[in-house]
Amino acid sequence: MSGKLSKLWRKDGTKSVVSSLISILIGLTVGAVIILIMGLANSNLGLRSVWEAIRLEFLGLFSTGRGAGGVLTFGFNPVNMGDMLFRATPLILTGLSVAVAYKTGLFNIGAPGQYLMGTAFTLMLALGIPTETVPAPVVWVIAFLGGILAGALWGCIPGLVKAFLNINEVLACIMTNWIAANVVTWIFDGSVFRNTVENTKSAYIYMTSHNGVQTAKMGLDVIFPNSQVNGGILIAIVIAILMYILMNKTTLGYQLKACGSNRHAARYAGIADKRNIVLSMAIAGGLSGAAAALYYLSGNTEFFWNTYQSLPATGFDGIPVALLAVSNPIGVIFAGCFMSMLDVVGQQITNLTPYNEYISDVIVATIVYLSAFSLAIKMLLTGRRKKKLSETAAGTERILTGEAPPPDETTAPPDRGTVEKGGDEA
């Protein structure tokens, strides 16, 4: 049994999972400590509110409100679960965007810009194609593919300058992010897609439910009634599985990872490194565009068209998702769900306890920050393993050279000179 556990522990995937779980546990613990400090520092809160907030931090997804006597109750909450899956959909895809690029040796910090371009083209196609002549499901497919293509083309830009001009992709991504924010604002500024019907919504674009182009529920509304969930989460999971197959089971995936490990060695081996760098960023951009497409094709979300002043947080949130998942496409599914769960938990803490929204933001930010340490923890676990192996190898070498006794030898070895002398006498 111990041998099987030892073999399991030696696997790289096991260390990745353990390091991510340790990061999550540390983050939640820090959040609980912050709640405790705030509760003790404010006499109006008290220990009861501290205990309630900590319980919600760990079990907020299953909170069903307050029962008799104002006591917190817990159980299956279909609204919380459904909303968590809805919010996880774009996080899974932006996490995949960052993870795929990282696997190929690139840091895609341009996901927000790719997300914006995917948003713009998805909404223009979904709202611009008349559903009177083209069936709504066909318009949905066109808009979804258009969002992916827009994100992919925008992701190609930093890929091209990296491949052919050797300009750092981080700098190129930052520039394309803000260019995208201004371009999208310019596109919608004079468009007919602005919600002019509702006077208070003139700074927003119509929801795709305006003309019936929205993602099908696929039966999830029966399991999670009154929530925002739709079939987008299933599409995101399928895409994540396909990306896992692409990166680990295909020649293209091998070539992409080879370029990420050592671009010059890959070129020496006959792999087109420049093409693969551009292709990697295109795939990453397409995934970010898909995230935007699924989010806004849901039919229940509005897009704020004046985007030049800020970038979408969903694009940046893909970074901690990829870090928690250690860039594993399957792990990204669970990491995306966890990050969206934190958002739901924050709302529960705000609505059911005296703690305001800033406390929940601090908790989420702490866990997001600590998620970056999952790689460091993995390196620490692997480093200790390597140190033990090196010490064992050194000890074996000393035994073979006669400088040290075997580990199971209870008596001191005979003097080397005595052995040699005994051999002469013999």
Q: Chain-wide mean pLDDT for the chain?
A: 84
CATH code, residues 78-327: 1.10.3470
The pLDDT value recorded for residue 44 is: 82
Q: State both tokens at 328.
A: 């594993």
Cα dihedral: 18, 24, 29, 35 (round 10):
-170
The pLDDT value recorded for residue 128 is: 93
Domain boundaries, the chain: 78-327, 379-421
pLDDT at 387 over 70: no
Cα angle value 126/239/135 (rounded, 5°): 25
Contact 54, 72 (CB under 8 A): no
Which string of DSSP letters, residue by residue, matches 350-376? HHHSS--HHHHHHHHHHHHHHHTTHHH
The pLDDT value recorded for residue 335 is: 92
Lowest mean pLDDT among 17-21, 181-185, 272-276: 17-21
Determine the average pLDDT of the residues in 142-170. Answer: 95
d(CA 248, CA 108): 20
Please name every residue paired with 281 in a beta bridge, in sequence order, or none if there are none: none
The pLDDT value recorded for residue 40 is: 87
Interval 404-419: pLDDT, tens = 555 554 444 455 444 4
Determine the average pLDDT of the residues in 135-158. Answer: 96
The pLDDT value recorded for residue 418 is: 45
Interval 62-120: pLDDT, tens = 999 888 888 899 999 999 999 999 999 999 999 999 999 998 889 999 999 999 999 99
Number of residues written out for the chain: 426
Q: What is the pTM of this model?
A: 0.85
Contact 259, 351 (CB under 8 A): no
CA 317 to chain centre: 7
More confident residue, 30 or 181: 181
- pLDDT exceeding 70 applies to what percent of the chain? 82
Which string of DSSP letters, residue by residue, matches 61-73? GGEEEE-GGG-EE
Lowest mean pLDDT among 120-129, 135-144, 258-267, 364-373: 364-373
The pLDDT value recorded for residue 202 is: 78
The b/e string for 213-249 (b: 16+ C-beta within 10 A; e otherwise) is bbbeeeebbeebeebbbbbbbbbbbebbeebbeebee
The pLDDT value recorded for residue 194 is: 86
Q: State both tokens at 157.
A: 């830009």
The pLDDT value recorded for residue 354 is: 86
State the pairing for strand pair 63-66/72-74. Answer: antiparallel
Determine the average pLDDT of the residues in 38-65. Answer: 88
Determine the average pLDDT of the residues in 47-74. Answer: 89
